[in-house]
Structure 1
Amino acid sequence: MAGLHSTQPARVEESEPLRSDANLAGRTADPVPAPRSEPVDAPGGAVDIGTTAPPPDGSPSRAAQQAVEAMYRAGGRLPRPSETRVMIVANQKGGVGKTTTTVNLAASLALHGARVLVIDLDPQGNASTALGIDHHAEVPSIYDVLVESKPLSEVVQPVRDVEGLFCAPATIDLAGAEIELVSVVARESRLQRAIASYEQPLDYVFIDCPPSLGLLTVNAMVAGAEVVIPIQCEYYALEGLGQLLRNVELVRGHLNSRLHVSTILLTMYDGRTRLASQVAEEVRSHFGNEVLRTNIPRSVRISEAPSYGQTVLTYDPGSSGSLSYLEAAREIALRGAPARQEGNQ
């Protein structure tokens, strides 16, 4: 790790950028031909500046479903998990694409036909915003579930643009929840019990954690089995990651023996820079099989989508960011499925 921190920031290379699996998949399966400005779905995760078409009007996008159908034709339909997979998206370092990863992976799996619930556990409510869910102070939210013991089913809302995707929103009230939970009995397992008592069938639950390692994040780690860590391909990318891994070990040892780091996703990847390639190499050599083959490119479209209350899947289905998240979701689904299920709905 020390070698990564001592490296000087890299300059942009003029040579052909490295190619990634996700962009190769996008190049062969792109179902949405559209006029683009340069670069066009640049290989290797180069900066994606999106299409030249105007932003969508917010209605459910048939183009997003066409992108999924093209991937079905290329690689078969995705398996459904035999039981609900609860996935905790965590990184105490801010600005790594944690919320972006949560909502886009969830939307990708829903477009593949899964039933997916996003639980917004960050008081800022960014996941709720990105999914177009109202989360002002009067809206029933995950705060009411944790502090007031309200059933999870009473706060869950359907996401308008993606069938099969649901959200339990966060409100600003959640900012005080850690203090209010201190004196509550079994405070670390409040979320776990709420999910266990949720009666609607779900294939995946994604929990978007705050950028800290407090009681809210501990609740998430007790509730699920799989930790997903987004890591940005930037300088100091691994700063603070050791503490997160130590907390995972502590929770596994004392509160949840099933907890483990199942997935590491490289985000904000720009294959034109030496630094991005070096960070990717460091992460892959250190974590091995937990790292997805797919990298998420640095993308203007991914950044713009939340301001329209959408994921990039419906905002710009043909962009490299959208296709990369679809491919990353595909990897996650195939990794968690028994071999006998592959190829089945």
Structure 2
Amino acid sequence: MKTSIIAIANQKGGVGKTATSVNLASSYAHLKRKTLLIDCDYQGNATANFGLKKQSKYKNLSTALRVDLPLNEVILKTSNEYLDVIAGDMGLSKLSREKILEPGSYNLLKNWLDCESIKEYEIIIIDTHPSLDLLFQMSMTAAHYYLVPVFAEADPFDGLQYMLEEVSLIKKSLNPPLFLLGIVITKYNTKNATHRKFHEYLQKYMDEVKITLLKTVIPESTAIASSSGAQRALISHHPKLPVTQAYLELAHELLPELRGVRQGRRQGTPTISEMPEEIDKLFDFEVQELEEEAVL
């Protein structure tokens, strides 16, 4: 069994990054795939989603990285035997500031995960920090794959372009095998004209730059917030809802691509400079059209 490490990444807040991390990890656990969720965000929202904040006081990622504790000594168990968590905590913020000028600091997480304990897991999901800082760099250097959740409106899409540029630099200098699984649209409302138009636009753009826009779309749902408030994943709190089934579909859609470190020909990473001019014009036109509709 090869371990596959997936970073869930987007520098924009509010796009469903942590919800995707939590519920994708829980979906794989539901499918009986041994999964580890690493909370690499000092806000610790993924940790809180499982009610593990109190337990994380001494067992957390920052402590493990600071004093090189073995992975199996900081693992927190969840109610699902197939899902474990490495907690995020405020100490990650301090660690990031302290280590940023140290040579090779970007390899801190990757080196820590280079251990026998990692072989127990088929899938490792990293909930990244929503800022292009050392925590983000460490996560992307440690990952084999990355998945980008986006909200189908203009601002999060702009952020996607800048993040792809940053990831391109990380691929070139730190982690050449890093593989983009695709873009997943979250919080999607089929009745919202803006969402429908941007979904269409995103598909055109992704086709142009040869990036996968995943077929699975995560619908907008208040159940995400309610399950988080109940400190449970969707699969255990609202198992039959469309949003829960969508995360299961996403887990199935990604599985064929997950086979550890990618070998052979490396995947290129498009950057903002590669965007065709006609796509830019299409974007400007659609934004103007939406604004005119809003006035009417």
Q: Name the TM-score class by shorter chain.
A: 0.7 to 0.9
Task: Find the counterpart in structure 2 of residue 281 from structure 1.
Answer: 200
Q: Does the residue aligned with 1:153 lie in a helix, a strand or coil?
A: helix
What letter corresponds to residue 292 of structure 1 in structure 2?
L
Is the Cα–Cα contact under 8 Å of residues 265 and 291 in structure 1 kept in the other structure? yes
Distance 1:324 1:137, change over 3 A: closer
Task: Find the counterpart in structure 2 of residue 172 from structure 1.
Answer: 90
Task: Find the counterpart in structure 2 of residue 149 from structure 1.
Answer: 68
Is the Cα–Cα contact under 8 Å of residues 135 and 171 in structure 1 kept in the other structure? no
Q: Does the residue aligned with 1:261 lie in a helix, a strand or coil?
A: strand
Q: CA RMSD in A?
A: 1.7
Distance 1:137 1:318, change over 3 A: closer
After superposition, residues 109-188 of structure 1 pair within 5 angstroms as: 109-135=28-54, 138-160=57-79, 162-188=80-106
1:295 and 2:217 matched: yes
1:260 Cα deviation after fit: 2.7
In structure 1, what is the Cα distance between the partners aligned to 2:77 and 2:224? 22
After superposition, residues 4-43 of structure 1 pair within 5 angstroms as: none
Distance 1:135 1:173, change over 3 A: farther
After superposition, residues 209-288 of structure 1 pair within 5 angstroms as: 209-288=128-207
Deviations 1:113-145 (A, max 9, x none): 101100001111000011222357732210012
Structure 1 length-normalised TM: 0.71
Task: Find the counterpart in structure 1 of residue 115 from structure 2.
Answer: 197
Is the Cα–Cα contact under 8 Å of residues 87 and 206 in structure 1 kept in the other structure? yes
Structure with higher helix content:
2
1:286 Cα deviation after fit: 1.9
1:337 Cα deviation after fit: 5.9
Task: Find the counterpart in structure 2 of residue 329 from structure 1.
Answer: 251
What letter corresponds to residue 220 of structure 2 in structure 1?
R
What letter corresponds to residue 124 of structure 1 in structure 2?
Q
Greater Cα shift, 254-263 or 103-112: 254-263
Unaligned runs of 5+ in 2: 261-296
Task: Find the counterpart in structure 2 of residue 17 from structure 1.
Answer: none
Task: Find the counterpart in structure 1 of residue 272 from structure 2.
Answer: none
1:302 Cα deviation after fit: 1.2
1:185 Cα deviation after fit: 4.1
Is the Cα–Cα contact under 8 Å of residues 132 and 309 in structure 1 kept in the other structure? yes
In structure 1, what is the Cα distance between the partners aligned to 2:153 and 2:74? 37
Is the Cα–Cα contact under 8 Å of residues 188 and 215 in structure 1 kept in the other structure? yes
1:274 Cα deviation after fit: 1.4
Greater Cα shift, 135-144 or 297-306: 135-144
1:284 Cα deviation after fit: 1.9
1:182 Cα deviation after fit: 2.5
1:198 Cα deviation after fit: 4.3
Is the Cα–Cα contact under 8 Å of residues 64 and 71 in structure 2 kept in the other structure? yes
In structure 1, what is the Cα distance between the partners aligned to 2:221 and 2:116? 36
Aligned counterpart for 1:89 among listed residues 8, 11, 30 = 8
Q: What number of residue pairs does the alignment pair up?
A: 256
What letter corresponds to residue 204 of structure 1 in structure 2?
I
In structure 2, what is the Cα distance between the partners aligned to 1:132 and 1:215? 27
Deviations 1:58-117 (A, max 9, x none): xxxxxxxxxxxxxxxxxxxxxxxx411110111000010000000100100111110110
Is the Cα–Cα contact under 8 Å of residues 24 and 251 in structure 2 kept in the other structure? yes
